[in-house]
């Protein structure tokens, strides 16, 4: 299940975020990659343990906490704090799969990576190329979104970032462990939740069918959730 979440960041928030990133010291992106990924990774990142990395990561986490579409789609239990990467002209990230388990820095905890997210920071007219490419059993999906928009997709997907041919592509990326392990179950819950929201808008929260579907939603979540 791949979901496009528009408008995670406003124009004002994007401008402030870019200004802070321009002040940052960018490091080799291979510093945070596993063995296979490092061999095909060519980009730059803000060091996650830097003061700037922690500041901007906290900012994005706060925005995610108040985004209803992200929380409906992902049902997050724990997140790896967001990282920030940069692909200048000629840079790319070859086909790879993300680690199944990742540490949460400074906590001694690890998470199972169920859902990946990429939040686009650069405007589309600032670069060419740089698509996020997801490889499925029968087709490729190429994703290039407006600044402030985000894509979420199962971490199980083989994926890459195509070469940037002009300009510079900046983004934030991170992983979540969901309360619901099964991708199929998450998809069912997401569809049901979106239908409930639409019916609630039309008939109100006290409507009998809205209440009945809400009860079904929570009983399914209760049955499938792992805490």
> 151 with 134, same domain?
yes
- List all residues 6 or more positions away from 87 whose beta carbon is below 8 Å from its beta carbon: 43, 44, 93, 127, 130, 161, 164, 168, 169
pLDDT (tens digit, 9 = 90+) per residue, 35-55?
667 789 999 999 999 999 999
> 148 with 211, same domain?
no
What pLDDT sits at residue 139? 87
Please check if 159 is assigned to a binding site. Answer: yes
CATH number, domain of 31, equals 2.60.120.620
* Structural domain of 65: 3-178
pTM of the model: 0.94
Please check if 123 is assigned to a binding site. Answer: no
> 151 with 171, same domain?
yes
pLDDT (tens digit, 9 = 90+) per residue, 3-39?
999 999 999 999 999 999 999 999 998 876 666 677 8
> 88 with 120, same domain?
yes
> 219 with 126, same domain?
no
Cα–Cα distance between 101 and 175 in angstroms, integer? 10
pLDDT (tens digit, 9 = 90+) per residue, 178-212?
999 999 999 999 999 999 999 999 999 999 999 99
What pLDDT sits at residue 33? 64
Please check if 96 is assigned to a binding site. Answer: yes
Please check if 185 is assigned to a binding site. Answer: no
> 88 with 152, same domain?
yes
Per the structure, the count of domains in the chain is 2
Whether residue 137 has pLDDT greater than 70: yes
What pLDDT sits at residue 138? 83
> 204 with 162, same domain?
no
């Amino acid at each position: 299940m791949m979901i496009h979440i528009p408008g995670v960041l406003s124009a004002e928030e994007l401008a402030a975020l870019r200004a802070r990133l321009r002040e940052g010291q960018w490091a080799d992106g291979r510093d945070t990659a596993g063995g296979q990924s490092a061999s095909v990774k060519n980009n730059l990142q803000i060091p996650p343990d830097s003061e700037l990395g922690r500041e901007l990561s906290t900012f994005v986490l706060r925005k995610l906490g108040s985004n209803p579409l992200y929380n409906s789609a992902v049902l997050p239990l724990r997140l790896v704090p967001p990282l920030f990467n940069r692909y200048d002209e000629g840079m790319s990230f070859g086909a790879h799969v993300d680690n199944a388990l990742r540490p949460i820095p400074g906590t001694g905890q690890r998470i199972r990576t169920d859902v990946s997210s990429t939040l686009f920071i650069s405007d589309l007219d600032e670069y060419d190329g740089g698509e996020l490419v997801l490889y499925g059993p029968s087709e490729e999906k190429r994703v290039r979104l407006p600044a402030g928009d985000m894509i979420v997709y199962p971490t199980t997907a083989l994926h890459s970032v195509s070469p940037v041919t002009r300009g510079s592509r900046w983004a934030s990326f991170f992983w979540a462990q969901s309360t619901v392990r099964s991708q199929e179950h998450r998809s069912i819950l997401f569809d049901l939740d979106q239908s409930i929201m639409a019916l609630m808008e039309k008939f109100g929260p006290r409507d009998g069918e809205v209440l009945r579907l809400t009860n079904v939603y929570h009983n399914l979540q209760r049955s499938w959730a792992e805490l």
